[in-house]
Amino acid sequence: MKKVAIGSDHGGYELKEALKGYLTELGYEYLDFGCKAKESVDYPDIAFLVGECVATNPDYVGIMIDGVGVGSGMVLNKIPGVRGAVCWDLSSVINSREHNNANVLSIGGQFIGEGLAKQLVKKWLETDFAGGRHDRRVTKVMEIESRFIKR
């Protein structure tokens, strides 16, 4: 079972706190990268920490929650090795795992209520990469990334 790197900005703080308890209920270990209170913070700072954890630890997947999910999605996809997926419903969640082998889920705490967020997180964590033709495509995604990595 993968471990979960979880983080939020102020827009996702309350949902993050609720999801932590839910992850424990489901049997997942997690590492909380903040934020630690509802005061305003900058989503790139936290999304970076979540993405860095996932990029450097194959045992981890990530969950990042800001107000909308899009900004953190941008940050996550700047980090080599991270495939961040901004999702809003069960179809996008399932597709991001089966087709894209997403390793970080980004959701918007201002749009997604606690009940739906729990459904999305559970489904995302339980859905496997389908491989096959999708493996070829994800390999191409990662190859494109490698063209921009300076050595």
Ligand X SMILES: O=P(O)(O)OC[C@H]1O[C@@H](O)[C@H](O)[C@@H]1O
Q: Which residues bind ligand X (CB under 6 A)?
A: 9, 11, 40, 43, 66-68, 71
Comparison of 71 and 124: residue with beta carbon closer to ligand X: 71
Task: Give the total residue count for the chain.
Answer: 151
- Do residues 65 and 16 touch, judged by C-beta distance below 8 A? yes
- Do residues 18 and 117 touch, judged by C-beta distance below 8 A? yes
Q: How far is the CB of 41 from ligand X (least distance, A)?
A: 9
Q: How far is the CB of 62 from ligand X (least distance, A)?
A: 16
Comparison of 72 and 96: residue with beta carbon closer to ligand X: 72
Comparison of 40 and 146: residue with beta carbon closer to ligand X: 40
> Structure tokens of 118?
């729990």
Q: Is 89 left (phi over 0), alpha (psi -120 to 50) or beta?
A: beta
